Structure 1
Amino acid sequence: MGPVIFRPERLAEVIKKEISDLLRQMKDPRLGFVTVTAVEVSSDLRYAKVFVSVLGSNEDQDASLKVLRGAQGFIRTELGKRIRLRYTPEVSFVHDPSIEEGTRIIQIIRDIGKGQPGQ
């Protein structure tokens, strides 16, 4: 049976699910609470940019990204075993600050609400 044909958007969703599963199984203590927020796959399906959000301080984020970047080869190999493709995409990890920014905005809104008379 030949390789399964994926469109980039479909492959991105599959990669997101599989990498999220792999991260739950990784036992490295330096790896903090990491969430895969999005995956972008190139049109030729050769490269996957994985956006991750890390809960914690800047040091925690840096340490987690360092672990993820060090594990890129392992993660790519595992993806190759789980997803049937002719070429397993090169995986790169990028910090996605959107969750932290959303939390900060919610806190600002709460603080503004507390400062209103009659609240």
Structure 2
Amino acid sequence: MAKAFSRNDRVSEQIQRELADLLMFEVKDPRVKMITLTAVEVAGDMAHAKVFYTAAKASKGMQAGLEAAAGYLRSQLGKRMLLRTVPQLHFVYDESIDRGMKMDKLIDQALIDTPPQS
């Protein structure tokens, strides 16, 4: 019987916590200061990890800053976590929050435009 909380899930959550701490306190690049990590997906063989992030003001410089810091972040993860191999980090912008806000505005607009029924 499979465990309800697999090792990949635990490693993903730990990587997310450690990366958030590193981005907040260790990385000095101003392009990556206001980033929120939304999720981390680790591959089954632990060789790669997709790190999903969002920000109030997204820019192309932000992605470039994260890619430039990926090596440093990976080395720091290796020092903080007890893993045989530290996964390569691949950063992906998470558009779900932007889409959710857009849908919320559309729903609000539709409610305003609909006449009340009696």
Same fold (TM over 0.5): yes
Which residue is 2:8 aligned to? Answer: 8
User: Once the two structures are aligned, what percentage of the paired residues are identical?
Assistant: 38
- Aligned partners of 1:103 and 1:34: how far apart in 2? 18
Residue 30 of structure 1 contacts residue 67 of structure 1 at CA under 8 Å; is this kept in 2? yes
Which residue is 2:3 aligned to? Answer: none
Whether 1:29 and 2:27 are equivalent positions in the alignment is no
1:10-35: CA deviation from partner (whole Å, max 9, x where unpaired): 10111111111112123322225211
Structure 1: state its 5+ residue gaps.
Answer: 1-5
Matches within 5 A, 1:11-90: 11-25=11-25, 26-31=27-32, 33-56=34-57, 60-90=58-88
Residue 15 of structure 2 contacts residue 77 of structure 2 at CA under 8 Å; is this kept in 1? yes
Task: Go from structure 1 to structure 2 and tell me whether the alpha carbon gap of 1:7 and 1:54 turns closer, same or farther (over 3 Å shift).
Answer: same
Post-superposition, which runs of at least 4 consecutive aligned residues in structure 1 deviate over 6 A?
Answer: none
Residue 32 of structure 1 contacts residue 54 of structure 1 at CA under 8 Å; is this kept in 2? no
What TM-score does the superposition give when structure 1 sets the normalisation length? 0.83
- What is the letter of the counterpart of residue 7 of structure 2? R
- Aligned partners of 1:81 and 1:19: how far apart in 2? 12
Count of matched residue positions in the alignment of Structure 1 and Structure 2: 110
- What is the letter of the counterpart of residue 35 of structure 1? T
Superposed CA RMSD in Å reads: 1.6
Which residue is 1:3 aligned to? Answer: none
Structure 2: state its 5+ residue gaps.
Answer: 1-5
Residue 32 of structure 1 contacts residue 61 of structure 1 at CA under 8 Å; is this kept in 2? no
Residue 36 of structure 1 contacts residue 52 of structure 1 at CA under 8 Å; is this kept in 2? yes
- Aligned partners of 2:63 and 2:104: how far apart in 1? 25
Which residue is 1:100 aligned to? Answer: 98
> Alpha-carbon deviation of 1:67?
0.2
